[in-house]
């Protein structure tokens, strides 16, 4: 009997040990009670006018979060799970921002919200029917998808939505966007005649509506007046950030009853340019431009800004001495006015400023002030000069550093900025001569970069240097280092440069053993260049050890700029794709060539002569194009690349590109950027940008949603150039599933049409279809977060099931950028990240496994019990 009890106890313990762990850790979504207009239990049946504000409190002890971001959903029930008909009506909020003591602002087409201190205060969906609603909160869980059907947090009572009184109550603001403090027109109609209508606006600082104006309608129930929009005093965020706005909501009321709403998008102040440096977006308050902008005492330059309060804008310098952090009293007492300007109707201004000659060198603050607010920037005023000659070229090139204005006969340290870690590293020391000048020759550090696979405009990276003496910063200088590339391979000549991993079979190029091939390249490390062949047999991936023993088929020496020209002979090799490595002293640059041994053709019979003596028909002329480009003017080449990162309001898409002619960048070229969400049927203007001295341009676009978009860049025809257009497909795809929660994204840029994109988190595999005009060359660049794969050697790329070479062009600390090229048709492309981490079983899988084990144990236990019953009892 005791043995049976022990067996039974063991079985129970085993069942508990199996079932309990399977039920732990799978509550992936938010839980708890959301309070309505209260920090404690809500008053039953809350009332709200559609489009008005509701305050939701998430500080109750029952609220639990499993993810980092969440949405609000409208529902018709109080269930703690998703229900049929529940739908998202808010932007994606940050849990961290919700719990932070400061407030953050969000908006979408449905309205505006302010979150912080565990409150979400904002618009209750405006276009909704009357009735009772609840609000649910769903967060991105460790399970990882928006469609996760586990528990959600839900309001502890219904919110009854009412509509305004019957009638056509209109309310408009014209214009409905711009800076603060500008006069705009408010108008409305359909109200009771000769009645006082109150107009209130939502104060984002105090999270409540404030009475603002009272207007009396005329005999037809209309009103119209002009007034200055309240100025929120907001500036853009620190750094070079996209232009942002705060949505100010107004409403009309009579005797406490809300009639209608209207909004005004108030743009935040920002500086567009300072001297010859322009922001891609706007420089916001607190921006540190020490490493970007430098001026000497006595210099004069201009500052331009946008969205300031209408009127005079003053520019102040902290003082003639370095003040460090400047207090309000110091700004009042010690600051020096160095310039001013007057805004136009949009709050844009231009001010000419002059740095006083007595100003000491070092880090200084300047304050740009209007009647309501000030925006402060940090700049460097130098005591010395610092120049690099040449200022651009290859890595490892010989350059000359020169400068003046340093302490005589004192050491001057030269440091450079590590682009990967953002730190300043010591490089070398030079002694200033008796007049305070420095002069030193040195080799520039080699960043070992290769261009993108395919034919691209040359890409570059900047290395910033600075000089210091006696713990004081004197000056900065920048060197532009171009990535290695090939200009010519055999009969193929690049429009820009061919990058690493370029497959020349995609250009219709074939070689056979014994052929001679000329290869030329630019921006390689100065010195000896070796060319190696992978081997006679077709070799797929070639390891560094294999390259060491690979056959050397040529060598040459670059010039001082890293350019070379070499003729090689193709060795005996099997048919198929072969690898060729072009090596300098720092790295190797690999391309692919298709080897095809020709077969002896069967002789064909000679054709019989034609007996047709008729007159040849007159060919019909082809129609001329409607707007032919001029043959007397060159047509620029535009290149586009995109990268996206998640932000609270959607996705920040960084657009970069070049505009060039014959590989030379075209400076000061106006580029209009557009995006299309419907496959090119309609286009929405994004930004008008101007290329810099190297022909480069950058812009930032905020997309509220993920998906597939077209990005187009255009430049108009001028007396010097024809017009030009470039269009790319851009795909933004959040990474969801398993341990991914949408805080990282894939970004694909391609000249192909991308479709059927799927990320399989279980297999850690991204697949999609790429299609284009048959026979043309296609490419895809994919931005891959390093949180997904920290070692790129684990990445395998497949084209229609066959492994495909790719180039790694990553210049970002947190992102891999890989590029693949192919000949267009319709292809299935797969990226396998070889994620070897254990995959968590889903709850249903574990429960099924547990049930099978329990059934097995139960059957075994019954069998043992029956066997014990059949055993004869021992006789005493």
Listing DSSP states for 359-409 in one string gives PPSEEEEEEEE-SS-EEEEEEEEESSEEEEESSEE-TT-EEEEEEESPPTT
Segment 218-226 mean pLDDT: 92
Whether the pLDDT of residue 583 is over 70: the answer is: yes
User: What does the pLDDT read at residue 148?
Assistant: 44
Whether the pLDDT of residue 195 is over 50: the answer is: yes
Residue 707: band (very low, low, confident or very high) from pLDDT cuts 50, 70, 90? confident
Give me the count of residues in the chain.
876
| Alpha-carbon gap, residue 337 to 148, rounded angstroms | 59
Phi and psi, residue 851, nearest 5°? -65, -40
Task: Record the tokens describing residue 379, joined without a space.
Answer: 């700049």
User: What does the pLDDT read at residue 539?
Assistant: 62
User: What does the pLDDT read at residue 224?
Assistant: 94
* Paired sense of beta strands 564-569 and 637-647, if any: unpaired
Task: Record the tokens describing residue 48, joined without a space.
Answer: 């709200």
Segment 625-641 mean pLDDT: 74
Segment 254-260 mean pLDDT: 78
Q: What per-residue string of b and e applies to 319-338 under the rule 16 or more CB within 10 Å gives b?
A: bbeebeebeeeebeebbeeb
Whether the pLDDT of residue 804 is over 80: the answer is: yes
Whether the pLDDT of residue 617 is over 60: the answer is: no
Residue 861: band (very low, low, confident or very high) from pLDDT cuts 50, 70, 90? low
Highest mean predicted confidence (pLDDT) among 212-216, 381-385, 415-419: 212-216
Query: Residue 497's closest CA among 629, 633, 658?
Result: 658
Task: Record the tokens describing residue 874, joined without a space.
Answer: 């021992």
Whether the pLDDT of residue 500 is over 60: the answer is: yes
CB within 8 A of 307, min separation 6: which ones?
178, 179, 180, 243, 267, 268, 269, 270, 346, 347, 348
Q: Give the pLDDT confidence of 818-853 residue by residue, as tens digits.
A: 888 888 888 889 988 874 433 344 444 444 555 555
Answer with the residue of higher pLDDT: 245 or 23: 245
How far does CA 685 lie from the centroid of its chain? 18
CB within 8 A of 150, min separation 6: which ones?
26, 27, 28, 29, 81, 141, 143
DSSP 450: B
Answer with the residue of higher pLDDT: 554 or 29: 554
Are 739 and 144 spatial neighbours (Cβ–Cβ below 8 Å)? yes
Are 569 and 516 spatial neighbours (Cβ–Cβ below 8 Å)? yes
Answer with the residue of higher pLDDT: 350 or 864: 350
Residue 742: band (very low, low, confident or very high) from pLDDT cuts 50, 70, 90? low
CB-CB neighbours of 616 under 10 Å:
6
Residue 182: band (very low, low, confident or very high) from pLDDT cuts 50, 70, 90? very high
Answer with the residue of higher pLDDT: 325 or 502: 502
User: What does the pLDDT read at residue 618?
Assistant: 39
Segment 619-646 mean pLDDT: 69
Answer with the residue of higher pLDDT: 157 or 790: 157
CB within 8 A of 751, min separation 6: which ones?
727, 728, 729, 772, 778, 779
How far does CA 46 lie from the centroid of its chain? 41
Residue 499: band (very low, low, confident or very high) from pLDDT cuts 50, 70, 90? very high
User: What does the pLDDT read at residue 560?
Assistant: 86
Q: What is the mean pLDDT of the chain?
A: 81
Answer with the residue of higher pLDDT: 443 or 141: 443
Phi and psi, residue 706, nearest 5°? -85, 180
User: What does the pLDDT read at residue 151?
Assistant: 82
User: What does the pLDDT read at residue 858?
Assistant: 59
User: What does the pLDDT read at residue 340?
Assistant: 95
Query: Residue 307's closest CA among 212, 232, 206?
Result: 232
Whether the pLDDT of residue 342 is over 90: the answer is: yes
- Tokens 């400023």 identify what position? 353
DSSP 269: B
Segment 748-765 mean pLDDT: 82
| Alpha-carbon gap, residue 365 to 322, rounded angstroms | 9
Residue 100: band (very low, low, confident or very high) from pLDDT cuts 50, 70, 90? confident
Query: DSSP 3-state assignment of 693?
Result: coil
Residue 34: band (very low, low, confident or very high) from pLDDT cuts 50, 70, 90? very high
Whether the pLDDT of residue 348 is over 90: the answer is: yes
Lowest mean pLDDT among 255-269, 286-300, 799-813: 799-813
Whether the pLDDT of residue 16 is over 50: the answer is: no
- CA dihedral of residues 199, 203, 206, 208 (deg, nearest 10): 40
CB within 8 A of 543, min separation 6: which ones?
none
């Amino acid at each position: 009997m005791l043995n049976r009890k022990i067996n039974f106890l063991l079985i129970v313990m085993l069942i508990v040990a199996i079932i309990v762990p399977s039920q732990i850790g799978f509550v992936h979504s938010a839980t708890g009670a959301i309070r309505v207009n209260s920090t404690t239990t809500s008053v039953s049946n809350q009332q709200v006018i559609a489009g008005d504000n509701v305050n939701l409190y998430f500080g109750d002890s029952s609220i639990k979060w499993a993810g980092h971001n969440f949405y609000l959903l409208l529902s018709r029930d109080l269930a703690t799970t998703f229900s049929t008909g529940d739908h998202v009506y808010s932007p994606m909020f940050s849990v961290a921002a919700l719990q932070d003591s400061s407030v953050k602002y969000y908006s979408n087409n449905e309205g505006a919200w302010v979150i912080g201190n565990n409150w979400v205060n904002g618009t209750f969906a405006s276009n909704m029917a009357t009735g009772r609603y609840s609000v649910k909160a769903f967060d991105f869980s460790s399970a990882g998808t928006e469609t996760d059907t586990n528990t959600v947090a839900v309001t502890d009572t219904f919110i009854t939505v009412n509509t305004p009184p019957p009638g056509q109550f209109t309310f408009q603001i014209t214009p409905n966007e711009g800076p603060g403090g500008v006069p705009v027109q408010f108008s409305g109609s359909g109200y009771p005649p000769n009645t006082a209508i109150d107009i209130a606006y939502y104060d984002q600082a105090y999270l409540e509506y404030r009475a603002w104006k009272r207007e009396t309608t005329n005999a037809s129930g209309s009103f119209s007046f002009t007034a200055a929009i309240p100025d929120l005093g907001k500036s853009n965020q620190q750094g070079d950030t996209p232009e942002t706005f705060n949505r100010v909501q107004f409403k009309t009321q009579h005797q406490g009853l809300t009639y209608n709403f209207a909004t005004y998008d108030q743009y935040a102040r920002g500086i567009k340019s300072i001297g010859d440096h322009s922001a891609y977006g706007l420089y916001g308050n607190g921006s540190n431009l020490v490493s970007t902008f430098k001026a000497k005492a006595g210099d004069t330059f201009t500052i331009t800004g946008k969205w300031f309060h209408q009127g005079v804008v003053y520019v102040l310098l902290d003082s003639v001495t370095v003040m460090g952090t400047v207090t309000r009293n110091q700004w009042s007492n010690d600051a020096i006015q160095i310039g001013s300007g007057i805004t136009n109707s949009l709050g844009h201004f231009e001010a000419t400023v002059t740095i006083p000659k007595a100003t000491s060198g070092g880090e200084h603050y300047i304050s740009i002030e209007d009647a309501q607010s000030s925006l402060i920037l940090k700049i460097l005023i130098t005591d010395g000069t610092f120049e690099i000659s040449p200022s651009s070229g290859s890595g490892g090139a010989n350059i000359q550093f020169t400068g003046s204005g340093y302490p005589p006969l004192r050491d001057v340290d030269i440091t450079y900025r590590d682009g990967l870690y953002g730190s300043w590293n010591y490089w070398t020391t030079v002694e200033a001569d008796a007049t305070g000048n420095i002069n030193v020759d040195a080799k520039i550090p080699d960043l070992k970069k290769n261009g993108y696979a395919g034919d691209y405009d040359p890409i570059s990276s900047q290395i910033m240097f600075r000089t210091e003496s006696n713990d004081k910063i004197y000056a900065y200088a920048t060197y532009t280092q171009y990535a290695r590339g090939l200009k010519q391979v055999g009969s193929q000549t690049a429009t820009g440069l061919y990058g690493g991993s370029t497959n020349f079979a995609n250009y219709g190029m074939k070689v056979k053993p014994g052929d001679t091939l000329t290869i030329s390249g630019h921006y390689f490390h100065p010195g000896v260049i070796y060319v190696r062949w992978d081997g006679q047999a077709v070799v797929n991936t070639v390891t560094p050890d294999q390259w060491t023993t690979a056959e050397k088929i040529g060598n040459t020496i670059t010039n001082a700029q890293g350019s070379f020209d070499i003729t090689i002979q193709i060795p005996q090799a099997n048919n198929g794709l072969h690898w060729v490595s072009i090596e300098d002293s720092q790295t190797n640059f690999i391309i692919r060539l298709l080897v095809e041994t020709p077969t002896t053709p069967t002789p064909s019979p000679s054709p019989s002569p034609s007996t047709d003596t008729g007159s040849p028909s007159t060919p019909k002329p082809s129609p001329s194009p409607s707007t032919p480009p001029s043959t007397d003017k060159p047509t620029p080449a535009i290149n586009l690349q995109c990268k996206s990162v998640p932000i609270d309001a959607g996705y920040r898409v960084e657009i970069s590109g070049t505009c060039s002619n014959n590989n030379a960048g075209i400076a000061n070229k106006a580029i209009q950027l557009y995006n299309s969400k419907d496959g090119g049927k309609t286009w929405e203007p994004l930004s008008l940008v101007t290329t810099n001295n190297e022909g480069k341009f950058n812009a930032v676009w905020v997309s509220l949603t993920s998906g597939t978009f077209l990005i187009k860049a255009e430049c108009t025809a001028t007396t010097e150039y024809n017009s030009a257009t470039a269009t790319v497909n851009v795909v933004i795809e959040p990474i969801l599933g398993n341990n991914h929660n949408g805080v990282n994204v894939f970004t694909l840029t391609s000249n192909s049409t991308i479709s059927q994109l799927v990320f399989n988190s279980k297999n850690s595999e991204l697949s999609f279809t790429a299609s284009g005009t048959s026979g043309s060359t296609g490419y895809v660049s994919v931005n891959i977060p390093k949180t997904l794969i920290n070692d790129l050697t684990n990445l395998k790329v497949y084209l229609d099931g066959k492994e495909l070479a790719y180039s790694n062009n990553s210049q970002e600390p947190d992102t891999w950028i890989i590029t693949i090229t192919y000949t267009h048709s319709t292809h299935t492309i797969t990226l396998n990240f070889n994620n070897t981490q254990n995959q968590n079983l889903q709850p249903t899988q574990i429960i099924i496994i547990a049930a099978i084990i329990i059934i097995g144990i139960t059957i075994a236990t019954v069998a043992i019990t029956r066997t014990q019953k059949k055993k004869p009892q021992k006789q005493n």
